[in-house]
Structure 1
C-alpha cells in the first residue's frame, strides 16, 4: 500500500528523467502511421514546405431551403411532446 501511495499517476508523466512529452510521442506515432499509409497506397511523400492549399469559400445562404421549415417544425413538436410526456410520467410515478 505504501509503495502505491508514492506513485500517483503514470510514471512517464512524473519522471524527471523522461526526455519527451506524450504529445511528441503522439505526433511521432501519427507521422509514422501516415507514412505507412502513403507507402501502402503508393502515394508520393509530401515535400516539406511545398504543399499547395487551394480553398474557396462562398456564401451558401441562411435559413431553411424550400420544404425544410416543415421538417424543422415537426422535429420541434416531437421534442416538445417527448419532454412533456417525460415530465408527466415523472410527476405521476410515485417514489
Structure 2
C-alpha cells in the first residue's frame, strides 16, 4: 500500500502496528524497559507512545464483535496488536530504545 499512500499524501503519519507471539509478556517487558518511548494508552502527544490493544479486552469494552466478524478480527489481530505512535524524539534515540526494549 506504500505506492498508493505516496500518491495520496505528501506527508506520512507516524503510526505503526506490530504483533508478537506473546503480547501480554511483551507488554510487561516494554513497560519495564522503555526509557524514551512511553508505554501508555493515548494519542495526540508529541512523545512516542506504544500500547497493546488486547483483543479480548477490546471485545469486552469497545467492539463486542461476534461470529464471523470476531473470527475476521482475530485472523488479523490474533491476541492483540501493539500500536506505536511516533513522536518528535530523535530517530536514532527511538530506534535504540525500541531495539533494547524488544530484545528477549
Q: TM-score, normalised by structure 1?
A: 0.22
Per chain length, whose mean CA-contact separation is higher, i.e. which structure has more relative contact order (CA < 8 Å, sep 6+)? 2
Highest CA radius of gyration, 1 or 2? 1
Of Structure 1 and Structure 2, the greater helix share is in 1
Q: TM-score, normalised by structure 2?
A: 0.21
